[in-house]
Amino acid sequence: MIFVLAVAAVAIFGLHQIKASPKLIPREILFGSPKQAAPQISPDGASVAYLAPDQGVLNVWIRDRRTKTDRVLTRDRGRGIRYYAWLPDGNSILFVQDQGGNENWHLYRIPFAGGEAQDLTPFEGVQARVLDIDKHFPETILIEMNKEDRSRHDVYRLNLKTGALELVTRNMGQVSEWITDADMKVRGASRTRPEGGSDLLIRKDEKSEWEKVLTWDFEDNMTSAALRFTGDGKELYLHDSRGRDTSALLKWDPVTRAGKILLEDPKFDVGSVVLNPDDHEIDMVMIYREKAEWVPFRDNIREDLEVLGKLCKGEFSIVSRTREDRYWIVRYEDDASPVKYYIYDRIEKRSEFLFVHQPELSKYTLYPIEPVKILSRDGIEMTGYKTLPRSGKGPFPMVLLVHGGPWARDTWGYEPTAQWLADRGYVCLQVNFRGSVGFGKAFVNAGNKEWGRKMQDDLTDSVAWAVQQGIADPKRIGIMGASYGGYAALAAAAFTPDVFKCGVDLFGPSNLITLIQSMPPYWSVERANILRRLGDPATEEALLKERSPLFHADRMRIPFLIAQGVNDPRTTKPESDRIVEALRKRGIECDYMVFPDEGHGFAKPENRLKFFKAAEAFLAKHLGGRHEK
């Protein structure tokens, strides 16, 4: 039936253009498991660990650099491994895993030589997180767990030899972030204020009392944070937007309460800060404008960045370093080719190609992604990205692809969903609407309590821009997104029912009241800030109902494809169940896909492929793009 409907849509919108188009990029290449990915070099530089499928599931593999031989290390048979790290002694690897997407992460250790993985945090219903791994302390790491109280994470020192756990810092309440020093001591904490915003607390050592040294008001909270103590432990590196719009990088003295600006930009927040693993001082800093740009803080790092900038096109980042810091693994990403990895020798200033994440992509011509500027109806400039089909003439059908968060942002680079949409004949438009991060505090705070209103207006204005540019056919526009992006798709149907022809919602909340009420207990540390950005059910129930698509289902009339993981702790299954029931009760077409072994995102490749197969048929039926069975 899906195939028949897709063919009918093709006949309506021009079969001759599709016949003339190149062969479709297979979904298995775009959304299946990578061939190889996420490499990490061993502390001694002799081996490289990486993720690759074993029996169809992502596991950790080891490559011997001398013999060029590979062997699988872990034997996960569930959702696959997504995060792992070498432990400082190089004799074992740490990885994390949850159950079916419930986000109650356990930490596991497996010997480098192979064998059984040991669960280091075997506590039911507890979430463990890595806080600090330092090469100078090979026998211990710091972890966070909500073992004593599910609503807050305490800090434990984990002995890697014995597996013993020592509680070193108890969460005094509302602490959302811990800050360590070069001696791997917990000496800083960010604590949420009852009215929103946060206090920075520090102490001289782990036995001293905490002292409040700085306060970020609510308006600065999203663009400010303590990063790390300086190498001597006397000062702190901060992201700080007090007294300015964008977040600057500061070196700040808690005694004098004075700071020195190290880097700032008038339009964009300062981004990632890379510290040297030896002296814990700054090596390089990134500012993400339309694309990522690195600023070196040391002369030798400047030389390295100049060499790496000439090696390969696209954005690059340092993803792994050896103990002596001679070898780096460098990741290169651009918009129209697979992600590449190299091993860089800092002494010889030469590089060794390692692998690409999906070599089959090289057989196809991918689609360039172009940064664009879009002006909202009230004069706010938004950065976005457009990806255009290669065949035929515009205007094309378009899918507005909305990022999640919403306190996140879209970036330039290889994006499989954008490639898939362009390859199937759609314009893919991504826009950083107000509330997105990276563009200063005025921009992010302009989204406060604007879910379903001005944030949604920004998306509608982006559609109008694409139509005015002549690239989008106003009669063939869809909207698609995950999490907040899924909410935006539902909100678009409820609040602008004439703009879009269909919607695809992946685990998007339909009722903002129940979204807040069902938050995981450990999100309570940020509850005050969340309520000020979204709305408080206790005092603003009417506002939240007004912005919730579920209460406006009578206005919705476009068809939907909705997908949900049963174990999702963020957007729980009832959020999707209720809107599906409401749409079907009104006779609106609503395909509903439920994955019993997934959470907030689809980790299993077979589930991703099942979803994108359905989404491709759905979009082809309603917008007329190309479709592979």
Mean pLDDT score of the chain: 95
Closest CA to 354 of 374, 386, 328, 372: 328
**Same domain membership, residue 149 and residue 242:** yes
Identify whether residues 460 and 414 lie together within a single domain: yes
Answer whether residue 626 shows pLDDT above 50.
yes
Measured CA angle at 235 (ends 229, 237), to 5 deg: 55
Domain assignment present for residue 36? The answer is no
Under the banding of pLDDT at 50, 70 and 90, the label for residue 391 is confident
Whether 506 and 578 map to the same domain: the answer is yes
568 lies in some domain = yes
Q: In degrees rounded to 5, what are phi and psi of residue 5?
A: -65, -40
Q: Which of 153, 280, 600, 627 is catalytic?
A: 600
Active site residue 198: no
The answer to whether position 60 is within a domain reads: no
**What pTM was computed for the model?**
0.94
Does one domain contain both 598 and 479?
yes
Which of 298, 332, 361 is the last residue before a domain boundary?
Answer: 361
The answer on 503 and 426 residing in a single domain is: yes
Residue 346 domain-assigned (yes or no)? yes
Q: Determine the pLDDT at residue 7.
A: 26
Per-residue CA distances from 496 to 388, 450, 486, 619 (Å): 24, 15, 15, 19
Question: pLDDT for 470-504, tens place per residue?
Answer: 999 999 999 999 999 999 999 999 999 999 999 99
Q: Which of 42, 436, 462, 483 is catalytic?
A: 483
Based on the fold, state whether residues 438 and 556 are members of the same structural domain: yes
568 is a catalytic site residue: yes
Is 45 among the domain residues?
no
Does the structure show a pLDDT above 70 at 184?
A: yes
Which CATH number characterizes residue 231's domain? 2.130.10.10
Is there a single domain that holds both residue 383 and residue 317?
no
- pLDDT over threshold 70, residue 459: yes
**In the chain, what's the furthest Cα-to-Cα distance?**
75
Cα distance between residue 542 and residue 189, in whole Å = 36
Residue 412 sits in the same domain as residue 553: yes
Same domain, 145 and 199: yes
Which helix (H) or strand (E) is 613 found in, with range?
helix 605-623
- CATH assignment at residue 553: 3.40.50.1820
Of 568, 576, 622, 627, which residue is the catalytic one? Answer: 568
In a domain, 97, yes or no: no
In this predicted structure, the answer to whether residue 424 has a pLDDT above a threshold of 60 is yes
Work out the pLDDT band at 234, boundaries 50, 70, 90: very high
Residue 13: pLDDT over 80: no
Q: Quick: pLDDT tens for 584-617.
A: 999 999 999 999 999 999 999 999 999 999 999 9
pLDDT of residue 393: 83
Q: pLDDT band at residue 9, thresholds of 50, 70 and 90?
A: very low
Examine the domain organization and report whether 269 and 398 are in the same domain.
no
Q: Which of 324, 344, 361 is the last residue of a domain?
A: 361
Residue 94 resides in a domain: no
Question: What's the whole-number mean pLDDT along residues 428-457?
Answer: 98
Residue 600 among the catalytic residues: yes
Confidence bin at 22 (pLDDT 50/70/90): confident
Which is higher by pLDDT, 393 or 452? 452
Based on the fold, state whether residues 435 and 352 are members of the same structural domain.
no
Residue 83 lies in a domain: no
Percent with pLDDT over 70 in the chain? 97
Of 228, 218, 213, 222, nearest to 258 by C-alpha is 213
Residues 408, 483: one domain? yes
Range with lowest mean pLDDT among 15-24, 120-129, 413-422:
15-24
Q: What are phi and psi of 16, to 5 degrees?
A: -65, -35
- The residue range of the domain holding 522 is 2-28+364-623
32-84 pLDDT, tens digit per residue, is 999 999 999 999 999 999 999 999 999 999 999 999 999 999 999 999 999 99
pLDDT digits (tens, 9 = 90+) for 328-365: 999 999 999 999 999 999 999 999 999 999 999 999 99
* Total domains, the chain: 2
Last residue of some domain: 339, 361, 383? Answer: 361
Using CA atoms, how far residue 306 sits from 298, 309, 310, in Å, is 12, 5, 7
**Residue 60 and residue 127: Cα distance in Å, rounded?**
22
